[in-house]
Amino acid sequence: MSDDSKPLNFIEHIVEEDLANNFPKEHLRFRFPPEPNGYLHIGHASSISLNFGLGLRYNAPVNLRFDDTNPAKEEQEFVDAIKKDVTWLGYEWDTERYASDYFQQLYDWAIYLVKKGRAYVDDQSSEEMAAQKGTPTEPGTESPNRNRSVEENLALFNQMKNGEFKEGTHVLRAKIDMASSNMLMRDPIMYRVLHKAHHRTNTDWCIYPMYDWTHGESDYIEQVSHSFCTLEFAMHRELYDWFLDQVYDENKVRPKQREFARRNLSHTVVSKRKLAKLVETGVVSSWDDPRMPTISGLRRRGYTPESIRNFTETIGIAKRDNLIDVSLLEFQVRNHLNKVAPRVMGVLDPLKVVITNYPEGEEEWLDAENNPEDESAGSRKVPFSREFYIEKEDFREEANKKFFRLKLGKEVRLKNAYIIKAESCTKDTDGNIIEVQCTYDPKSKSGSGTEESLRKVKGTLHWVSIKHAVEAEVRLYDRLFTDESPDTHKDKDFMDFVNPDSLQVIKGYLEPHLKEAKIGDRVQFQRLGYFCVDPDSSSEKLVFNKTVGLRDSWAKIAEK
RNA sequence: UGGCCCAUGGUGUAAUUGGCAACACUCCGGUUUUUGGUACCGUCAUUCAAGGUUCGAGUCCUUGUGGGCCAACCA
């Protein structure tokens, strides 16, 4: 089911071309193949929506395959996290596969290659082999073990398998071409000895297949028609094809590897190794710290699956190097949250206001619209009283005409409430304003329909009645790195660019019904931004994360 | 010194495969607004350079220039 309303990316063009050349549509099959050695990040989101998107587009199955060939780095914890993230993003895989499911088949094929004289056991040190490998400009030299007899190779490989050798002493290599201009073709390693327990096969094996030997054959076993990976694997394609040639049966689908450019997001890093370092060094609290570009971090930050999917869709996929500005990502959350997040009022930097002509002890519950973008969201009641908070930055003793907020002698509308006028203010001994005294127009109540209520005043402020306010911890986030591309500097480490002020924890005062907010709830604090309830939150202590601010054109005017 | 890949506004992608350079974001300017939000309108590139083929080139060819990748018992 192809959707022609949108232009195709180059990957889709490849599939379309194959279809046009009579590749049977029902043989289309894709896969998303993460290594379970860390958490998924925003870069993976692109690969996920590419592969699963293709599945949806052509109604073809997509496997979730764990590339688990290195027990030294992989853990069940990561398998679970990856499954959770893919599901959360809204995709369904056809079958859950593991490269480790194919260890026996891979081993049998390896024996077959040995028998064909296409693979041999090498017992040199890695240093020796590296020296023989040559350089990109000079051909390598052949290993003295390259021409062992089949019998000897079989025997040695069997000993490797049976655990008779120590790690690092023996490998199985493909016999290809030590003079190839492609370094990967210079007799690459297929198996190494690793006396480590695997998270799924435990100690069944002590030899483990390398990526190149595993990946293409796994695609072949699963009959994946198109195997998409990132550009750094482009050189691997020749090897991928060579390994396939060894076992390929004409009657089966032959997987095709093609490469696309990894997506780079500005002001962050997307490499598991670097993300792991941020966690290990305590720069962030965990893999799901809301500042992390991981899927779990974005989830905790308040991002929606829709916004991430829309992001990957709009940035597309291509082959050139890129540095995607975070503003493209932020736009997508704002865009989605604008439609679905209930509006509430919260004051994060409080300044007390007293309405001198409002009866002491009185309170009234005013109607407040939950979402102007969505009438079905209904309304709620918000308590109003003589004393309330506004944001400090919303009051100035005096200011120019561009300042639409509260200033002495001028009027402003309190959202969903009354028009008030600032009469005077009091300061502490340091000269800081600590309270503003106002009068209000009792006939100006929002929604009352009176002439006064319809008066236009330039500014509208959010507020929270002090007596009714609920307190909450609010965590504000800034970009994790001060540089837009922290890991591309040859002379500096990415850790040098860590933003020391990426987290700010403050106390906020919220309208009372937020006491009922549940973990994961997303709201808009009007005029401030989108926030969500953090998992650290409890009935005793509310904790909110700031997802993203609203567009703020006042900030730009104020700068001038 | 070898091989492979890439080059379109500030950012990311398109361009019916040789036929008027489009979309989204950002920026700037404006309209609407009981969120300085949203929505809406408008401004912002002749496609890295130089040649060539062609009636016609972002698209094909050549040569440059610039960038990325390749020598882990990682994936």
| DSSP secondary structure string for all residues of A102-156 | GHHHHHHHHHHHHHTTSEEEE-S-HHHHHHHT--SSS-----TTTT--HHHHHHH
- Coil vs helix vs strand at A401: coil
Please tell me the pTM assigned to this model. Answer: 0.95
Phi, psi dihedral angles at A401 (to 5 degrees)? -65, -25
Rounded CA–C1' distance between A5 and B22, in angstroms: 14
- The pair of structure tokens assigned to A209 is 């297949």
- Distance (Å, whole) CA A495 – CA A274: 9
Specify whether the CB–CB gap between A154 and A115 falls below 8 A: yes
Return the closest nucleotide (C1') to the Cα of A167: B73
**Which pLDDT does position A204 carry in this prediction?**
98
pLDDT tens digit sequence for A365-411: 999 999 999 989 999 999 999 999 999 999 999 988 899 999 999 99
- Distance (Å, whole) CA A532 – CA A525: 10
Q: Tell me, what DSSP letter sits at residue A444?
A: G
Does the CB of A373 sit below 7 A from strand B? yes
Count of alpha carbons within 13 Å of A88, Cβ hemisphere only?
A: 22
Rounded CA–C1' distance between A53 and B14, in angstroms: 19
DSSP bridge pairs for A379: A369
According to DSSP, the β-strands at A419-427 and A433-440 are: antiparallel
Specify whether the CB–CB gap between A202 and A194 falls below 8 A: no
Residues 6+ apart with CB under 8 A from A295: A39, A40, A41, A42, A44, A45, A85, A88, A89, A308
Written as one string, the DSSP assignment of A449-485 is --TGGG---S-EE--EETTT-EEEEEEEE--SBSSSS
Which amino acid is located at A367 in the chain?
D
- Distance (Å, whole) CA A190 – CA A173: 5
Residues 6+ apart with CB under 8 A from A136: A181, A183
Residue count of chain A? 560
| E-assigned strand segments in A185-300 | 189-193, 207-209, 226-230, 256-260
Residues 6+ apart with CB under 8 A from A430: none
Chain centroid, CA A120 distance in Å: 42
| Count of C-beta atoms within a 10 Å radius of residue A461 | 23
- Distance (Å, whole) CA A227 – CA A67: 13
Return the closest nucleotide (C1') to the Cα of A415: B34
- Below-50 pLDDT ranges, chain A: 1-4
b/e per residue, A221-235, with b = 16+ CB within 10 A?
Answer: bbebbbbbbeeebee
A83, A196, A254, A262: the catalytic one is A262
- Distance (Å, whole) CA A100 – CA A199: 10
Comparing C-alpha atoms, which of A115, A129, A102, A232 is closest to residue A189?
A129
Comparing C-alpha atoms, which of A352, A295, A315 is closest to residue A81?
A295
**Which pLDDT does position A139 carry in this prediction?**
93
**Which pLDDT does position A188 carry in this prediction?**
98
Q: Tell me, what DSSP letter sits at residue A202?
A: B
Please, is A33 exposed, middle or buried when counting C-beta atoms within 10 Å of its C-beta (0-12, 13-18, 19+)?
Answer: buried
> Is A35 among the residues known to form the active site?
yes
Which amino acid is located at A304 in the chain?
T
Q: ipTM > 0.90?
A: yes
- The pair of structure tokens assigned to A337 is 């949250």
- Distance (Å, whole) CA A516 – CA A25: 51
**Which pLDDT does position A259 carry in this prediction?**
96
- The pair of structure tokens assigned to A386 is 């003589």
A423-462 residues near strand B (Cβ < 7 Å): 444-447, 453-454, 456, 459-460, 462
Q: Which helix (H) or strand (E) holds A64?
A: strand A62-66
- Coil vs helix vs strand at A380: strand
- The pair of structure tokens assigned to A302 is 């308040």
Specify whether the CB–CB gap between A439 and A420 falls below 8 A: yes
Chain centroid, CA A392 distance in Å: 34
Does the CB of A178 sit below 7 A from strand B? no
A97, A237, A272, A291: the catalytic one is A272
- Coil vs helix vs strand at A266: coil
- Distance (Å, whole) CA A201 – CA A548: 44
To which residue do tokens 């203010």 refer?
A425
Q: Tell me, what DSSP letter sits at residue A263?
A: P
- The pair of structure tokens assigned to A430 is 């340091």
- The pair of structure tokens assigned to A118 is 């296409």
Rounded CA–C1' distance between A459 and B33, in angstroms: 11
Rounded CA–C1' distance between A325 and B27, in angstroms: 13
Tell which strand B nucleotides have any atom below 7 Å from a protein Cβ.
1-8, 10-15, 17, 24-29, 34-39, 67-75
Rounded CA–C1' distance between A312 and B24, in angstroms: 12
Please, is A71 exposed, middle or buried when counting C-beta atoms within 10 Å of its C-beta (0-12, 13-18, 19+)?
Answer: buried
- Distance (Å, whole) CA A545 – CA A533: 6
- The pair of structure tokens assigned to A317 is 């996929």
**Which pLDDT does position A557 carry in this prediction?**
86
